[in-house]
Chain A
Amino acid sequence: MSKKSAWTITFKRISKNKGALIGMFVVVTIVTVALTAPLIAPYDPYKQDLLSSLEGPSLKHPFGTDIFGRDVLSRVIYGARTSVSISFLAVIVAIFLGMTAGTVAGYFGGVVDEILMRFLDILMAFPDILLAIAIVAALGPGKSNLIIAIAIYSFPQFARVMRASVLTVKNNEYIEAARAVGESNMAIIIRYVVPNAMAPIIVQATLRMATAILTISGLSFLGLGVKPPEAEWGTDLAMARVYLEIAPHLGIFPGVALFLTVMGFNLFGDGLNDALNPRLKDR
């Protein structure tokens, strides 16, 4: 099967799956909003206007204004930029770490495998958010530390996927053949092992984007993530928590954006999983 036809088949299957289509639509929309935030935001998200503080939704400010009179719609739009960029970087780092660890463990086996996998087991003994909190507690809040924290708790998943895929491929005859003609370990891994693991890794990455975005906003809500005044949904919701009695609208819009984004990635990930799963091919 050529590469092109594999993509076509995947796309066809996704287009038949309503949930996956909606998910894809939401993901594309959010990413577009994130990329074009400066162009589409009606106001500067950091510009204060204390005279119009805590206004409800109006024509001028569709999502209202916050305590400093900043436009909530613009902050929600810029919040997409913050969440998508941090989670994307974190997932990329996690994929890289996970693929390296998984490949090393699976390909070389033995003691290396045993030690690495036990270490991952211990890491996975910590609930996700707790490990992230612990890491951020040590490193301090901020964007790059968030990326490190999320990457560290996410990479064991990728390592497992990669290791499993290495183990399936490893004993095939074509690997033996490749070795017989003198291909190096590195070449064998890149040419035969990595492509085989791509499908589950893409699925896992999409689902991990959802978890990452939830973690970013959760930690920021606790004051351990993105620092104010930077526009971020969790940070803005933490501030909204204080003014709920007088300005409930502040608690709605950043949350809706966050919820839709997470749902989009979840739906799209589930859809990809169905589409890329070879066991479901004939259905």
Chain B
Amino acid sequence: MSTHPIVCGVLWVIKFISRRLLLLIPVIIGVSIISFSIMHLIPGDPARIIAGEGATKEDVEAIRDKYGLNKPLVEQYFRFMKGIVTNDLRSIKTERPILKEISPRFLNTVQLAMVSILISSMIGISLGIVSAVRRNTWVDSFAMFFSLIGVSMPIFWLGILLIIIFAVTLGWLPSGGKGGIEHIILPAITLGLATSAIIARMTRASMLEILNQDYVRTAKAFGLSKRKIVYKYVLRNALIPIITVIGLQFGYLLGGAVLTESVFGWPGLGRYVVDSIFNRDYIAVQVGIMVIAISFVLVNLCVDILYALVDPRLRRG
């Protein structure tokens, strides 16, 4: 073909992105159906659950009417989706539009996840580099031991330990709540420990792979300093898989923040969903879960697209 290669590349990118966006539609519809139906497929009557244990028959009937629970399920689903789009869907507990309830909490979760991914990327990448460069030394063993601890650590227990050490014993940091920068440190570390362990492992593995390449051997033969080789050639080439893992982990942090938020009383979306379960606010539960799952899917999609953009080898396929 006579088209210029850059045009070809741009066309490929547009085609790739639109294809991925198209594939996204059924996934998002599926996610919304599952989020919606989870609260309806249960054995038992949602109206009665909302009404609570001591409710009379009339109360239950009134609730059934109010939330349209006597309509067919399919109709309820469309009502639910329409309510979200038109902002008519309201929280059962506060009667405020549900998206108004959710958006500030979602932003809190995003904030926590961002600080967390920043801290864990710094820790993970440096540990990974050090252990790859000093492979099979005590530094390497220490780093890998750290990462084993990181992936096995129950997140809420880590939170409790950090509270015991830094809040109760030393009194350096607050044990919970939201406020200044000191409030976000402990939750961010708690949430990010497992992630930093995973990033460290990935960094190590991908550095080791590049260190074995011929061009690194050539660079060594040319007498380049080890420092220069590591930072200029190896790290740069190893970055693609590392960035991918960081992106995927970010999505995971958004969804996995529930426990951290509960331990530290962080007013995020995960905690809101759990609170709403106890408040029997099933609309908040449905929408909360849907928002988290969709943002998880969107983050993964962005990672996929970025990955394809930075790695030209993938375009051949």
Contacts and interface: CB of A to CB of B under 8 A. Distances in A.
Contacts, number: 126
Interface in B21-60: 26-27, 30-31, 34-35, 38-39, 41-42
A116 to B, nearest CB: 13
Interface stretch (A1-9, A34-42, A195-203, A254-262): A254-262
B160 interface: yes
Interface in A130-169: 130, 133-135, 137-139
Contact of A241 (B31, B160, B255): B160
Given A139-B42, A234-B156, A130 B30 contact: no
Interface stretch (A55-63, A184-192, A244-252): A244-252
Contacts of A251: 157, 160-161, 164
Contacts of A259: 152-154, 157
A103 B227 CA distance: 51
Interface stretch (B80-88, B119-127, B207-215, B258-266): B258-266
Contacts of A244: 160, 163-164, 168, 175
Contacts of A125: 27, 30-31, 293, 296-297
Given A118-B26, A222-B262, A263-B149, A133 B274 contact: yes
B157 A258 contact: yes
Interface stretch (A74-82, A88-96, A213-221, A274-282): A213-221
A134 B40 CA distance: 12
B160 A237 contact: yes
Contacts of A123: 34
A108 interface: no
A190 B49 CA distance: 44
Nearest to A136: B277
A72 to B, nearest CB: 15
B271 to A, nearest CB: 9
**Dominant secondary structure of chain B at its interface with chain A:** helix
B62 interface: no
A134 B160 contact: no
B201 to A, nearest CB: 11
B264 to A, nearest CB: 10
A127 B160 contact: no
A84 interface: no
Contact of B34 (A122, A221, A237): A122
Nearest to A245: B168
Nearest to B274: A222
A130 B163 contact: no
**Dominant secondary structure of chain A at its interface with chain B:** helix
B117 interface: no
A267 interface: yes
Contacts of A175: none
A263 B168 CA distance: 27
B152 A241 contact: no
A122 B27 contact: yes
A49 interface: no
A126 B255 contact: yes
Interface string A194-238: 000000000000000010001001100111100000000010010
A122 B31 contact: yes
29 contacts: A118-B30, A122-B30, A122-B31, A122-B34, A125-B27, A125-B30, A125-B296, A127-B252, A129-B255, A130-B258, A130-B289, A130-B293, A133-B258, A133-B274, A133-B277, A134-B289, A139-B42, A217-B154, A218-B154, A237-B157, A237-B160, A244-B163, A251-B161, A251-B164, A255-B154, A262-B153, A263-B152, A266-B152, A267-B148
Given A251-B160, A258-B154, 15 more contacts: A118-B26, A122-B30, A126-B289, A127-B251, A130-B255, A214-B154, A217-B156, A218-B259, A221-B156, A223-B278, A237-B156, A251-B157, A259-B152, A262-B154, A267-B148
Interface of B: 26-27, 30-31, 34-35, 38-39, 41-42, 148-149, 151-157, 160-161, 163-164, 168-169, 175, 251-252, 254-256, 258-259, 262-263, 270, 273-274, 277-278, 282, 285, 289, 292-293, 296-297
